[in-house]
Amino acid sequence: MTGRAEVLTLLGVGHEHGTGDLARTALDGVSLTVLEGELVAVMGASGSGKSTLLAIAGGLTTPTAGHVQVDGTWLADLSAAEVARVRRRSVGFVFQQFNLVSTLTAAENVALPLELDGIGTRAARRAADDALAALGLAGRGRAFPAELSGGEQQRVAIARALVGSRRLVLADEPTGALDSSTGDEVMGLLRERVDAGAAGLLVTHDARHAAWADRIVFLRDGRLVDESAPRGPESLLTPEAR
């Protein structure tokens, strides 16, 4: 791992929902680093803080304690507008439900974040076509989401997450709405893009898909309680189940 840049750094990150007597701790002193070319999987029970961790890593939620660095920039030093700019340029999100705009074609969906970042329509569409072709969707750019299979829609979502050479990919249960074969295909694509130099943080309940990662960390009650290197699905039992 030496020599690789730290694309994501969390230092003592904490977060609480609510205030006073209603406050609930979602994350408690989480420190985590993800390097370029590294895929880290996060596992844990529902309510353990996984989604909050991902939202904070992507600058969607501000932690109530600790510090976050994304692609060389510490987010606490920035205004909300500057955080949004870092997010657009450096972070790609892949969600379980794809979140494609139904009235836009596949290519238009992929080009959208580039256009929002001020890149001209023609250049954005060229980049979108290249991103789709790299994921086996050449010729499908004019199709609308309803005309695509689940696997194709998720590949469009991955292309949107990676277009513009984003350095950090955050994936929240990206295979949850797919059959096992298509889910394996999507994980292979994520692994391939990380191997090409991106950094990836994956939230998943699926031990088979966590096994694609370089490291697996376990969250319980908002705390990192264990870490392991994948040796196959049987090695990914939670600490309580071992």
On whether the CB atoms of residues 32 and 217 are closer than 8 A, the answer is yes
Looking at residue 1, what is its pLDDT? 47
- Cα-flanking dihedrals φ and ψ of residue 207, to 5°? -60, -35
Q: With a cut of 70, say whether residue 191 has pLDDT above it.
A: yes
Alpha carbons 49 and 234: distance in angstroms, whole number: 23
Looking at residue 77, what is its pLDDT? 87
Q: Delineate the domains of the chain, giving CATH numbers in brackets.
A: 6-98+169-241 (3.40.50.300)
Tens of pLDDT along 53-74?
Answer: 999 999 999 999 999 999 999 9
Strands (E), 90-179: 91-95, 168-172
Tens of pLDDT along 99-156?
Answer: 899 999 999 999 998 998 889 999 999 999 998 998 889 999 999 999 999 889 988 9
Instruction: Tell me which H or E stretch contains 50.
Output: helix 50-57
On whether the CB atoms of residues 183 and 155 are closer than 8 A, the answer is no
